[in-house]
Amino acid sequence: MQGLGFGGEWATGAALVAEAARPENRGKLLGLVQASWAVGWALAAIAWTIVFSLAPEEQAWRYLFFLGILPAPLILYLRRNVKDADVWLETHRAEEERREEAVAAGATKSPLAQIFSGDLLKITIPATLLATGIQGGYYAMFTWVPTYLKTERGLTIIGTGSYLAVLIVSAFVGYVFSGYVHDWLGRRKAFALFAAASAVSLFLYVSVPPGGNTVLLFVAIPLGFFSAGAFSGFGSYLAELFPTRARGAGQGFAYNAGRALGALFPLAIGFLAAFFGLGGAIIFGCAAYGLALVSLLFLPETKGKSFEVVN
């Protein structure tokens, strides 16, 4: 339920910010929004380090779940005080008028139905695969990195927290920097750059020989930077791919279906670890980034796109 709630709120918020942003700054602004993920990750890592150091392992994870409730009241504030963008409001009014006419004629489609028909279907499928690849590679890494550091690198809970801190700081910088790259190079080139660099960084990370934990610390810098930075373009790119009338539905479906399918990658790593070891199995995450690169071949460039009132 927590995952479903987060995915729904992210898609709605990202579409709202994208519609309010200027086209030339949309990537930067959405990159800053995405960087808040690293802030939350840092707070979670601190809580994890403290709780698991003080409480028995069989109880510590329960305490962490309770801590996760704390940000929930912010949603009530946002729902009450944040207004919809003008472009959506005007489009919604026009759509309501057209929908009434369509209902009278017996031909109407919901936004969710629209993204699976006509030309939008050609956007929905590769956009979903892009989200699957980026998120699958990310989940493959960071679902298993704490266990990998502890079981295969011999690091303690405190030591693991130190390595995660490097990843988190690198991720924050990657989120912010990637937003600028998206506005500079364009969406497709930026996604391709960060996906390819993430795959290379992942391979290097798990290829560090035993005893090279200091080297591992330095390799974690590009790993966190590129794997996190690959996310920053979703807010702007998915919003630009779908028209205003179906933007929320399209962005929400592509991103969250990608999350669901991407979750299969860490599951697969769990099975593969029995045959190749955890370090060898994590390399399977590179295949996810390969999927992202292929999906970009079927998506258009949208850099600088302006949102029309009705499109």
CATH number at residue 32: 1.20.1250.20
pLDDT tens digits along 44-85: 878 887 888 888 878 888 888 888 788 778 878 877 887 776
Q: At what angle do helices 264-282 and 285-296 cross, to 10 degrees?
A: 120
Please report which residue ranges of the chain form alpha helices under DSSP H.
Answer: 2-20, 26-54, 57-67, 73-81, 86-105, 111-114, 118-151, 157-185, 187-207, 213-229, 233-241, 247-262, 264-282, 285-296
CA distances from 297 to 77, 126, 293 (A): 40, 9, 7
Helix (H) or strand (E) run with residue 40 in it: helix 26-54
Count: domains in the chain: 1
- Cα 40 from Cα 14, distance rounded (Å): 17
In this structure, the dihedral spanned by the alpha carbons of residues 50, 71, 149 and 169, taken in order and rounded to 10 degrees, is -100
Residue 65's domain comprises: 2-71+109-296
Q: Please tell me whether residue 153 adopts helix, strand or coil conformation.
A: coil
Instruction: Give this prediction's pTM.
Output: 0.81
Across all residues in the chain, what is the average pLDDT?
81
- Is residue 183 over pLDDT 80? yes
In a domain, 33, yes or no: yes
pLDDT tens digits along 155-179: 655 455 666 777 788 889 999 999 9
In a domain, 82, yes or no: no
In a domain, 17, yes or no: yes
In a domain, 257, yes or no: yes
In a domain, 87, yes or no: no
Instruction: Supply the pLDDT for residue 38.
Output: 85
